Amino acid sequence: MYLTPTELSSHLYPEVQQEIARSTSDTTLAQQAINAAIDEAKSYLTHYDVAAIFNATSANRNNIILMYVKDIAVWHFINLCNAAVEWEVRESRYDKAIKFLCNVQKGEASPDLPLVTDGGTLGNGYERDVRFGGNPRRGNRPGNY
């Protein structure tokens, strides 16, 4: 398992987790938030081997991705109830995590993650990434700027 509810204690105190879940032993809601966070992070990491990234355990996990997945998971978890939680701080951390993942997706950030090794296809013959565009417009004629 990539991330457990007890590991969220670095981002959300255990007693706050228990208060939000209304239980001291049931971690189902926290695990659902973690699963949603992992799925959300995967959607931004299509150029990378997400199976290898999220099958990693303990010290083999990428620390920056782990931190941001925790931020996303806590954001999803506190939407149930924000008892004893600084909402603005959590929202800011969530936004920062998504911004980082967007930068990874655009190629502006390059975390140390395993790349896809299947030749860049989605398994159905279609390319994983399609990019298009053109050169900047040239103003060769007078008045065409």
Task: Provide the residue ranges of all domains of the chain, joining segments of one domain with +.
Answer: 5-106
Q: How far apart are CA 82 and CA 62, in angstroms?
A: 28
Cα–Cα distance list, 38 to 62, 84, 129 (Å): 13, 25, 21
Nearest to 40 by CA among 71, 81, 62: 71
0.75 surpassed by pTM: yes
Give 8's pLDDT tier (boundaries 50, 70, 90).
very high
Q: Tokens representing 144?
A: 């065409």
What average pLDDT does the structure give for the chain? 87
pLDDT digits (tens, 9 = 90+) for 58-113: 999 999 999 999 999 999 999 888 787 888 999 999 999 999 999 999 989 989 99
Q: How many CB atoms are closer than 10 A to CB 75?
A: 23
